[in-house]
Amino acid sequence: MSRAEGAAPLIVTHQPSGKIVRASRAITSTNEEPQVPLLIINRYRVTTMIGSGSFGHIFEADDIHQHEQVAIKFESHSLQYPQLAYEARVLKLISGTGIPKIFWFGEVDNYNVLVMEKLGPSIEDLLCYCRRSFSLKTVLLLAEQMLKRLQHIHSRTFLHRDLKPDNFLMGIFAWSHRLYLIDFGLSKRYIDSKTRRHIVYREGKGLTGTPRYASVNSHV
């Protein structure tokens, strides 16, 4: 993982047993069962659902122009608090090593759609695969890249605000050694873009992110 880093993302799911699997072919979700568009801007052919959550659904798709696979996030217009347009803007602002590349963002039918590079398994997936234990060498290699990703986004004046094993993914193919940081829907600037000063600390705010992985101070 200490070699030079770069390129395309796959996302897998993990089961309670620890086995890493790919989601079965599906075009509808198990909750609301919305049907997503099967062809995006006459270029990306949607194939397999590989993830879902409160944000919407992630599908694998084929780029019929470049003959490679991509990942596509679909966010329904019916969501009360949409985040995908904001996440797309943040990804453009913080682009760099270990940050997923975005290829296209727009609206298709009743969805906001974000096309990005396809990544590999998450740290959580790999931990399950390794029976909940990493070697010291693996921990050090991962930690080094994690710190570099945080240093990078902080240098762009953003905080991630939802750090957890599920949001660190490995690359694929030539970049399988590279660690990526994903899911910037909750990220926020900590430096005011006009004054260039640190945003004022405020009390009484609710916890942001995933409680299990939030800092102790967030729970106080």
Residue owning tokens 């609710």:
206
Catalytic position from the list 162, 166, 183, 192: 162
DSSP H or E run through 52:
strand 44-53
* 183 is annotated as an active-site residue: no
160, 150 Cβ separation under 8 angstroms:
yes
Alpha helices in the chain (DSSP H): 84-93, 123-129, 136-155, 216-219
63, 43 Cβ separation under 8 angstroms:
yes
For Cα atoms 83, 9, 48, give the angle at the middle one, nearest 5 degrees.
80
Q: Catalytic residues, which ones? A: 162
